């Protein structure tokens, strides 16, 4: 999958893939590795490695729900408010992140309607 490059600051969180994943996690509020891989086109292994790095840094947290490991920004990260502001600014300057998140339908669908 060919992706548009992010605007300046694309490697702010180490690599472009780490930055892109963090922006998506922020936008989606909660996600999981295979969903992030599906949206970005990165391999699941790449996503999981980046997630581990971000978790080690204390930026994200992982919560097990059923059999799914749900990833979200760590609410206890000491600079969470400032991080939110930075990520929001980056997202609005990189609308392709919003566009890629639009691949996922999260609103409910009435029973009987085709997926």
Partner 1 sequence: MISTTSTLEEIAYAVCTLFHNCGKTVVLTGGSAATIYAPAHYQSRDLDFVMQFSSGGLAVVQKLQELGFESGPSSIYKHPNSAFTIDFIAGDLAVGEKYISSWKTLHKGDQILHILSPEDCICDRLASYIYWNDFSALSAAAGVYNTTHANLDDVRTWLEKENAEVDQTISRLVALAK
CA distance linking residue 106 with residue 104, whole number of Å:
6
Which of 53/70 has CB closer to partner 1? Answer: 70
Q: Should residue 81 be labelled a site residue for partner 1 when binding is judged by CB under 8 A? A: no
Residues 5-64 that bind partner 1 (CB under 8 A): 27-29
75 binding partner 1? (CB under 8 A):
no
For residue 106, give the nearest of 30, 12, 34 by alpha carbon: 30
Stretch touching partner 1 by CB under 8 A, among 10-18, 48-56, 58-66, 106-114:
106-114
Let me know the angle formed at the C-alpha of 84 by 31 and 7, rounded to the nearest 5 degrees. 85
């Amino acid at each position: 999958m060919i992706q548009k490059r992010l605007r300046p600051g694309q490697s702010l969180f180490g690599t472009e893939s780490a930055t892109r994943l963090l922006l998506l996690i922020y936008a989606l509020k909660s996600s999981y590795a295979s969903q992030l891989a599906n949206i970005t086109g990165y391999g699941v292994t790449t996503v999981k490695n980046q997630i581990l790095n971000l978790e080690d840094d204390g930026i994200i947290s992982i919560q097990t729900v059923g059999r799914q490991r749900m990833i979200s920004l760590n609410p206890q990260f000491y600079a969470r408010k400032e991080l939110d502001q930075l990520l929001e600014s980056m997202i609005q300057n990189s609308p392709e992140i919003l566009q890629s998140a639009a691949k996922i339908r999260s609103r409910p669908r009435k029973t009987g309607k085709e997926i």
